[in-house]
Amino acid sequence: MSTLSENRRARFDYEILEAYEAGIELRGFEVKAVKSGRINLAGAYAIIKDNQIWLLNADIPPYQPLNTPADYDSKRTRRLLLRKSEIKSLIGRTKEKGLTLVPLKVYTKAHRIKIEIGLGKSRKKGDKRELIKKRDVEREIGRRL
């Protein structure tokens, strides 16, 4: 399993409660671009529409710009592939508790591209400050030892 891209900001902005592994529906030239690490998850999120999960604002620039179709949109919405039971549980969880689906990382598994999406709860400003302080204390302890 090699990680192609990671959304570290999502783990800072959200408290991740559960993580799901999903497939991602891509075109052929997008697969090549993603496998070469040209995917940006910053600002990306997932929504549920018509009992399907869609990934929005994930930027996949073309692998070879001259060989890509002229009408290609690098930030188009892409469908995520999950089991029906997982989708049903996600529908209930996101509506009940006001949680958000956030992409965490993109990786390969058995020559397939997978995306890890997390069910996250937004952190308040004070919680973020606490997290930074905790990280600094742990870093200082590590230095002294």
Residue 110 CA to residue 18 CA, distance in Å, equals 23
Flag whether pLDDT at 97 surpasses 90: no
* Rg over CA atoms, the chain: 17
Quote the CA–CA distance of 36 and 108 in Å, as a whole number. Answer: 11
- Three-class SS state of 73: coil
Tokens at 6, concatenated:
């990671």
- Give residue 50's domain range: 2-144
**Alpha carbons 32 and 43: distance in angstroms, whole number:** 22
pLDDT on residue 22: 93
pLDDT at 82: 92
- d(C-alpha 88, C-alpha 85), whole Å: 5
**Average pLDDT, stretch 122-130?**
79
Q: Which residues pair with 117 in a beta bridge?
A: 20, 103
What integer pLDDT is reported at residue 33 of this predicted model?
Answer: 86
- Span 31-89, pLDDT tens digits: 888 888 888 888 888 999 999 999 999 888 888 777 778 888 778 899 999 999 999 98
What value, to the nearest 5°, has the Cα angle with vertex 139 and ends 136 and 145? 145
Mean pLDDT of the chain: 87
Tell me, rounded to whole angstroms, the distance of Cα 20 from its chain centroid: 10
Q: Is 131 exposed, middle or buried (0-12, 13-18, 19+ CB in 10 A)?
A: middle
Both tokens assigned to 41: 């998850």
Model confidence at 131, pLDDT cuts 50, 70, 90, reads confident
Q: How many domains does the chain have?
A: 1
Q: Which CATH number does the domain housing residue 28 bear?
A: 2.40.280.10
